[in-house]
Structure 1
Amino acid sequence: MLLRPFGKRVKHFERVTPHSHWSFNTRQGLVKVHLFGDSGPWVVTSHGWADNSRCFETMIPSLLEQGFRVAAIDHVAHGKSGGKHAHLLAFIEAKEALLAHFKQQEQKVAAIIGHSMGGLAALNLKAEYLQGLKVILIAMPIRMFDLMFVQVERMGISRKMLTLVLERISAQYQTSWQQLQYQHHLHKCADRLFLIHDTDDKFAPIEHIRAVSEQQGTPLYLTQNLGHNKLLRDTGVIRQISSILVGT
């Protein structure tokens, strides 16, 4: 139950059409990536839990107009990808496989845009994949594990049960879930990290992300009354991302 996302399983793009797709296998199943644009450096988008790549549909045309290509991942067990179970490490594995593919093909990647858990996954990528990239994290639950423990207790599940699940999964990937927490990864992209967050986000409390922004001196762009998901479609947010990407 804890590893199965119950959300928008299969959705089709309506406003913009991918010119091609790329699929590859991961430990949890087949991952599908939707590719947009014919030329220019890549921008990789990564959705959150129980969502899919279509959440970036309003933003993609703006990225294409700026001369970028877009690689929009459907994470395993989400969208049009295969598999039934997912977790943070599966998100990380998919993004690293995609970035390794671009590196092997000698194709430039300019930025990663991650929403919600997709943002924390971006922060967890190996330093070699983040080198030189702008990392834009939208509505990221920066203290995701703390929030998970609170949520499972509300559901009547013990902290011990969640801890056992986290330890079992992280052992499969030869790591520890504690090492996935944000404080271990900020240094990898400190001067290229940008945060976008809504003050009324009920899933990722603003005080968590604001504290990190103040401590690290990381730029933080705030919205109001958009919550956790609507800011992805906000014209102001899209303009801010365009500004970040072109360096103005």
Structure 2
Amino acid sequence: MDLALAAAGTSVRAAAALSPRWGAAVAMPLFGYVAKPRPVRADDEPTMSRARRHTVRIAGIDRRGVDVDTYEWGAGPRTVVVSHGWHGRASQFSVLVRELVAEGYRVVSFDAPAHGGSGGRRTYLVDWLDVFAALQERHGAFEAMIGHSFGGLATLVGVAGGIDAARAVTIAAPADADLLLSQFQAMLRYPDGVAASMRELFATRYFPGEPDPFAWLSSVRRPLPAGVPLLVAHDHGDRVVPFGEAGRIVAANRGAEQLATKGLGHNRILTDDAVLDAVLDHVRTPLSVSASALTPEVAPAAVEELDPVSVAA
């Protein structure tokens, strides 16, 4: 993978030497590319084998149509949607799925295009949003939406954009799309001129007619609607999405709660008992209780520091 990245970076920088726009044109197809899907862990197989499997058809990043695998557990009117991140898959939520089903919720998840069992090799956040809309059409309003990493950003953007969800949870999520573009630039080491052209090309290709898509793709510039309780969980040692992103999300969303952990990193946080307990408490807390607790005097987030655990981040 390092060799592939090095080769890609060399190609982008060579094109950039001729023109920043040429460099951006070479970099753009790489931005939405997803490597080979991660396998399902043995511990997650039993949960996945019990899922009711369906597909939804969405336009896809190239707007040519793509089938997305969806998974459903439990029954009843209270639907919780869980969304994986970049290079993730639905099976990562197996522990949380079992907990939510035991509490009486219907849980719905999916493998985004180019992830898990779904087809394709390229994707971007618009695909998550299209899946949310398709699932909403099928299941109606969501009791809660829970997203990890890139899926957490998609959750925030989706609810801010009109997806009907009573509550939201993000785990190890970035605050906006700017971080993703900055990280991509750091990986390929292309100059700022290419980065500026990348932003222009990105906006034109994926959000035609949108005057400022980066405001639209930001939980900071476009927070959740008032009255939607938000829990933001993030680990201090996260080496994929910096811990400071959690603070940016919380600061922009009045009354949001922050759960800060230590020693769990970017992925182990999904199966930590204390994090799972906090997520379950957030999902099942009556909205009237949540709303009454969020007075102007206590609007800043309450930060809970968990004791460090022995595993490495």
State the TM-score, normalizing by the size of structure 1.
0.88
Q: Percent identity?
A: 22
Q: SS of the residue aligned with 2:68?
A: strand
In structure 1, what is the equivalent of residue 265 of structure 2?
227
In structure 1, what is the equivalent of residue 59 of structure 2?
27
- Structure 1 residue 208: deviation in Å? 2.7
Q: Deviations over 1:15-61 (max 9, x none)?
A: 31334112121112111111111334111010000111011011111
Inter-partner Cα distance in structure 2 for 1:19 and 1:207: 35
Is residue 2:46 matched to residue 1:15?
A: yes
Inter-partner Cα distance in structure 1 for 2:139 and 2:77: 13
In structure 2, what is the equivalent of residue 2 of structure 1?
31
Provide closer, same or farther for how the CA distance between residues 189 and 24 of structure 1 changes in structure 2, counting only shifts above 3 A: farther
Q: Structure 1 segments of 4 or more deviating over 6 A? A: none
Number of positions where the alignment pairs a residue of Structure 1 with one of Structure 2: 243
In structure 1, what is the equivalent of residue 245 of structure 2?
208
8 Å CA contact 1:166–1:177 kept in 2: the answer is no
- Structure 1 residue 150: deviation in Å? 4.0
In structure 1, what is the equivalent of residue 154 of structure 2?
121
CA-based RMSD: 2.3
In structure 1, what is the equivalent of residue 102 of structure 2?
65
Is residue 2:71 matched to residue 1:39?
A: no
Inter-partner Cα distance in structure 1 for 2:251 and 2:182: 25
8 Å CA contact 2:75–2:104 kept in 1: the answer is no
Inter-partner Cα distance in structure 2 for 1:161 and 1:247: 46
Inter-partner Cα distance in structure 1 for 2:57 and 2:209: 16
8 Å CA contact 1:32–1:81 kept in 2: the answer is yes
Gaps of 5+ in 2: 1-29, 61-65, 287-313
Inter-partner Cα distance in structure 2 for 1:175 and 1:15: 46
8 Å CA contact 2:176–2:220 kept in 1: the answer is no
Matched residue type, 2:145: I
- The counterpart of 1:160, out of the listed 163, 184, 196, is 196
- Structure 1 residue 148: deviation in Å? 2.2
Provide closer, same or farther for how the CA distance between residues 212 and 19 of structure 1 changes in structure 2, counting only shifts above 3 A: closer
Aligned ranges 1:37-186 → 2 under 5 Å: 37-103=74-140, 109-125=142-158, 127-131=161-165, 133-157=166-190, 158-171=194-207, 176-178=212-214, 179-186=216-223
Gaps of 5+ in 1: none
State the TM-score, normalizing by the size of structure 2.
0.71
Provide closer, same or farther for how the CA distance between residues 161 and 18 of structure 1 changes in structure 2, counting only shifts above 3 A: farther
- Structure 1 residue 117: deviation in Å? 0.8
8 Å CA contact 2:132–2:163 kept in 1: the answer is no
- Structure 1 residue 205: deviation in Å? 1.5
Larger Rg: 2
Q: SS of the residue aligned with 1:204?
A: coil
